Structures are given as C-alpha cells and as structure tokens.
Amino acid sequence: MSSKKNILLTGGAGFIGSHLAEALARDERVGKVRLLDNLATGSLRNIERLIDLPNVEFIQGDIRDFEVCKRAAEGMDLICHQAALGSVARSIQDPLTTSAVNITGTLNVFVAAKQASIKRIVFATSSSTYGDHPGLPKQEDKIGTPLSPYAVSKRANELYASVFAMAYGLQTIGLRYFNVFGPRQDPGGPYAAVIPLFAKSLLEGKPATINGDGSHSRDFTYIENAVQANLLALFTENPEAVNQVYNIACGQQMTLLELYNILATSLTTTPIPGAVFGPEREGDVKHSLADISKAKRLLGYEVRVGVEEGLKRTIKWMSGG
C-alpha cells in the first residue's frame, strides 16, 4: 500500500466519524477523504473545520439509497463504514428503522464496494453482539443470543462481511466498539449515551438517573482508541488481520455508579447531587468487559488513552475547556 488511498467514510459527520475524518484528512497515506452522512444524528458542526480542505469532500446522502452508495464509492480505494443508527433503546422502540439503516444500509455499502472493486471495508460493529453470553472478558469467538434489534443488526453486519469475504474476495475488518465516549458526543435527545447524559444533568445542577441499581458495568473506551483501531485496520498489511472482527476497548471495567461519582466529583461543587435510580433498560447487557488481546496481536492495537484520562479530557471539553 505505497500510493495514497482515497477513502470513503460513511457517517463522517457523526461523533466517531468526525474524529476519524480529522485523522484521515491529516494522514499522509490518504489522498481524498469523501464523507457521506445524512445528518440524521451527525452534524455539520462536527466537520466544519474540514469541509473546505482540498482533500475532503462531503456528500449529504443516506446509505439506505443504493444509488447514493454507488456514487459515493466511485473512485475510492477503501471504505471506513461508520454510518449507523445507534442505541439499544431506540431499536426496541423502532426496529424497522434500525434494520433499514443498519442492515439494508450496510448491505448497500458492501454491494457498492464490490461493484467499485474496492479492496477493503473496515466497519463498525458493537459489543452488543455478545448478547446473553455470560462469559467475561468477552472474546470474539464466544457470542450469545442478541438482546435487542440493534444487536441483531450489528450481528447481521458481521455475517454479511463474512459472506462477502468468502463469495467476492472483499477484505473486511469489523471493529466491535465497547461504549466509545469523548468530545462531540451529543447529550441531547432521548437516546443519548450515558456519559454525556450524566454530564449534562450534573452541569445543570440536577441529579442524573441511573438505569438499574448502578452495578451495571461497562468497558468505556475513549474515542482516540477507536480512531487508532480504524487506522490500523484500514492500512494493515498483515494477511492474518483481515476478514476478522476485533474488540475495541480499554479492557477495564467500571460500574455506572463509579462513573457517576467520578463525573459528579469533577463537574459539581459540593454537595454532590445524589443519583436517581430508575428501572433497568430493556435489552441492556448487565456487564461488559473486553478481551483486547486479539486486536493487540493482529492489528498492533494498544490503549493509548485510559478511561480516567479520557474522562478528564471529556469533562474539560464539556466544561468549555
């Protein structure tokens, strides 16, 4: 991979996508970066510093439209597929839209890649694919039954990737994200992720609501680690690394109550507002912790920013720093 590569980045105006767009735009291995986003959950604010750069192109379009995917793939060498409709809760409320975006949309991207003779797709999948499998830490080859339409959609992406690799020779790499967080993660709306949601409440001087008793645990993963994983996957020359899925995480467990107390201590003056405990969310996994040894071994992935440092950076950003 000596010459510069043109890369299509779907979901390029979203939280993870916009951080990736910045990294790709300044990467010397990259020629053109084409961003595709329908702006349903992404925002032009996230990429306003990029869209005037000579090597960055923005297309407003929807991956549910195959013709859009086909046009976006023209002239590209690699695809970094981040476009998706997130949230377990949203998928339970509206499984049709989750399926249309995450399954049909991803299939459109894969078919467009095949027709454009694109060599490799790196795509975002999710720790939700582990479903009801009780084992910890989570290992890539040991998954259970999905607990939500969102989890089904992400598992379907992995299965399609495997089939496209076997049937068409497409190189695919799936990255199973574990609770990615960081600057630009939207605290608004009913399906906001837990860290921006907690922070928003605390900055407003209100107690946050914790779903369940606070003992649920997650492997929170700072955005810089997810960006690094995508770059490694896009440019790896290790033949063993392709046609695989990888856990992308910090390999560290934190309960929701521990998270709340860290944020409350950092974002508020005493007394710290006590959390409000609500019902558990339907489809939620109780505990999540990743085994990241496979990504380390085959991709060279490493945790560059730990959870505590990531929270410090996120808190500084949320506080206007």
Active-site amino acid positions: 150
Q: How many CB atoms lie within 10 A of CB 1?
A: 13
Q: Which tokens sit at 46?
A: 């996230």
Phi-psi region of 206 (alpha: psi -120 to 50; beta: other; left: phi over 0): beta
- Determine the distance from the C-alpha atom of residue 97 to the mean position of all C-alpha atoms in its chain, rounded to a whole number: 18
Residue whose entry in the numeric block shows the structure tokens 């702006």 = 39
Residue labelled with tokens 């590209």: 76
Query: Looking at residue 92, what DSSP letter applies?
Result: H
Q: Which of 250, 260, 249, 271 lies closest to 212, judged by CA?
A: 260
The DSSP secondary-structure symbol of 129 reads G
Q: What is the CB neighbour count within 10 angstroms for residue 237?
A: 7
The pair phi, psi for residue 12, each rounded to 5°, is -70, -15
